Amino acid sequence: MSSSAGMLIIYVVAFIAIFYFMAIRPQQRQRKAHQALLSSLKKGDHVVTASGIYGTVKRVEESLVVVEVAKGVSMKIARSAIAQIVRDDSQARAFAPEPAGRRGKKAPAEIEEEVAVEETVDLVDDAEVYEEDVVEDVVEEEDLELASDDVDDLEEEVVDEEQLSEDDKA
């Protein structure tokens, strides 16, 4: 009985040791590394949040960080939501906000021209749809006229046959 109790104690201790080295210790290391990352956070760092948003740190406060995700667009993010700091310059440049300037912006005349072109395309599309509807209506009317002509012809034949049969009887 004492040997089975000793074996049970060995199994429990082994299980706790395996659990400690496989789950608890790696998690502690990960938490310490993340705390070190957050403490080294400073203005100008390129970061990635836990939700996958890339940006540049503009201001660091006690529990939150202000991150610029695009030119003129800043977000307040919980400090603990910063997942990593992008250290590679090529990655940092790829995710940095665009520099100032008219890049990507259009002059009002260009916008008005695009709107005019879009309206013209819409009008042409509407005209084509209307034309198709008119053609369908014309085809339907012609079919109806043909059908009514056929009915008239059949009525005349029936009348002719009735007259022939009356003439034969007489």
- Is residue 4 predicted with pLDDT exceeding 90? no
| Angstrom distance (rounded) from CA 14 to CA 19 | 8
Tell if the pTM clears 0.75, that is, is over it. no
Residue 128 clears pLDDT 80, i.e. is over it: no
C-alpha–C-alpha distance, residues 71 and 62, integer Å:
24
Residue 124 reports pLDDT greater than 80: no
**Higher pLDDT residue, 38 or 114?**
38
Architecture field, domain 41-101? Roll (2.30)
pLDDT, mean over the chain: 75
Which pLDDT score, from 0 to 100, does residue 18 have? 93
The dihedral formed by the CA atoms of 19, 22, 25 and 29, expressed in degrees to the nearest 10: -160
d(CA 38, CA 35): 5
Answer whether 77's CB lies under 8 Å from 64's CB. yes
Per-residue pLDDT reduced to its tens digit, 54-91: 899 999 998 899 999 988 899 999 998 998 888 776 66
Domain edges within the chain: 1-32, 41-101, 106-170
The structure tokens listed for 84 are 């990593």
Kind and range of the H or E element at 127?
helix 108-169
- Tally of CB atoms within 10 A around 66: 16
